[in-house]
A = this chain, B = another copy of it.
Amino acid sequence: MKKQYLLAPGPTPVPPEVLLAMSRPIIHHRSPDFIPVIQDVRKDLKWLFQTEQEVITVAGSGTAGMEASISNFMSPGDKILAVNGGKFGERWAKIATAFGVTTIEIKVNWGESVNVSEIKAHLDKDPSIRGVYVQASETSTGVAHDVKSIAEITKTRENTILVVDAITALGVTNLPMDLWGIDILITGSQKALMLPPGLACIGVSEKAWKHQSQAKCSRFYLDLKREKDNLLKDTNAWTPAVTLWIGLATSLKMMREEGLENVFARHSKLARATREGVKGFGLEVFAKNAPSDAVTAVLAPEGFDGEALYKNLRKQYGITAAGGQDQLKGKVFRLSHMGYSDTFDIITAISGVEMALYRMGYKHPLGSGVAKAQAVLIED
C-alpha cells in the first residue's frame, strides 16, 4: 500500500466532487440536458476571468488555446512581440512561424521576469507590432511576468493586442481581464480549474474581436468567432468534451463558493509557505525576483541531481512532483501548489523533499523546512 500524491504543475489533483460529477452517465450536448451546463459555465467563466465578454471553451490542450490566440488574431506577414523566458515562452514563435507570422522575441534569462520597459521600447519603435504575447506564469521556471504593467502599455494602442497565457495563473493570482485591459486570456482545464486536461478556455476583449474580424490566418476548428456565435445561443460549434464541461461547471461552483479573493489568498499563502519551506531546508528558489504563486521551481543543491530527486520522491514516497525541462533538466525540481491544494499538501511536499534529499546524502536538519512552512501556514 502506498498512497499517491500529485504535486506536479498540471494535471493537478481533481476533487472527488468533480470526479463524481464527471462519472455520471453521459448526456447529449444538443439535448436540453446540456443547456444548464453551458449556461453555468458561461456565467462562471466570466466571473473567473473578471470579464463581461464571452469566454470560449474548446476541446484541446493549452497549446490549442495558444494557437487560437495567434491564428484568430493575426494575418500572415503580421508581426508579434513575444516574451521568451522559458519553455512556454519559446512556443509563441514556433506557433507564429507555422502560421506565417513574424516574431520579435524578447529573450529573458530563465528564472527572471521580463523588463517591461523593453516591451514599451519595442512598441514605440515599431507601432506595426500587432500583438504582445506573454506568460502570466512561466511554468518551466516558476516565474511570473508583470501582466498589469504590460497591459498599461498595450491598453491604449488600438493596433496592438495583449495576449496572456495564464494557463498556470488564472484562478491562482489576480488577473482582472477587463479592468487591466488584457485582450486575450488563456487557461487550461488541468491547472487551477482542478480538472483533467482536455479543455482550453480563452477570454477575448472587444478590441481583440475587432482584430479577429480582419485576421486572415487559416483557422477552422479553433475559430473562436464561430464558437462565440454558438455560445450566445447556449450551444457549441463542435461536439464539446461533455464530461469535462460537466466537471468545469462543478469546479467553478466550488471556486465561487470559496470566493475569488480567498482562492487567490490561499494560493499566495501556499506558495509562500513552499518557498519559505525549501529555503528553510537550505535550498534556493529558482525565480530570481518574481516567483509564480502556481508552481515553485527549486534549484537542486550543488552536487545533487534534480531528476534523481524526482525519481526518489516517486519511488520512496509516492509523490509525483516535476523535474526541470530542457536546459533545467536535472538542475531544478518543481512543486505545484495550484488548484485543489491545501495546507497539508505543502507539508507533504516539503517533508517529502526533506526526507528524499536527506537519504540522498544532503544532510540538512530534518524538519527545518517544514518548520518554516508551518510558520507561514499558521498565519490567519
Contact = CB atoms under 8 A, between A and B. Distances in A.
A63 B238 contact: yes
Interface in A217-251: 217-223, 238-244
Nearest to A8: B28
A20 interface: yes
A60 interface: yes
A118 B126 CA distance: 54
A307 to B, nearest CB: 12
Contacts of A98: 218-220, 223
Interface string A321-363: 0100000000000000000000000000000000000000000
A28 B23 CA distance: 19
A13 interface: yes
A4 interface: yes
A19 interface: yes
A95 to B, nearest CB: 5
Nearest to A71: B218
Contacts of A27: 4, 6, 11, 320
A144 to B, nearest CB: 21
B60 A64 contact: yes
Interface stretch (A190-198, A260-268, A288-296, A298-306): A190-198
A99 interface: yes
Nearest to A64: B221
Interface string A185-227: 0001010000011100000000000000000011111110000
A40 to B, nearest CB: 18
A10 interface: yes
B31 A25 contact: no
Given A59-B64, A188-B239, A198-B244, A320 B28 contact: yes
24 contacts: A11-B26, A11-B28, A19-B24, A19-B25, A22-B23, A32-B314, A33-B320, A59-B60, A59-B197, A60-B60, A60-B64, A63-B220, A63-B239, A67-B220, A71-B218, A98-B218, A190-B239, A196-B244, A198-B198, A198-B243, A198-B244, A217-B218, A241-B241, A241-B244
Interface of A: 4, 6, 8, 10-11, 13-14, 19-20, 22-33, 58-64, 67, 71, 94-95, 98-100, 188, 190, 196-198, 217-223, 238-244, 314, 320, 322
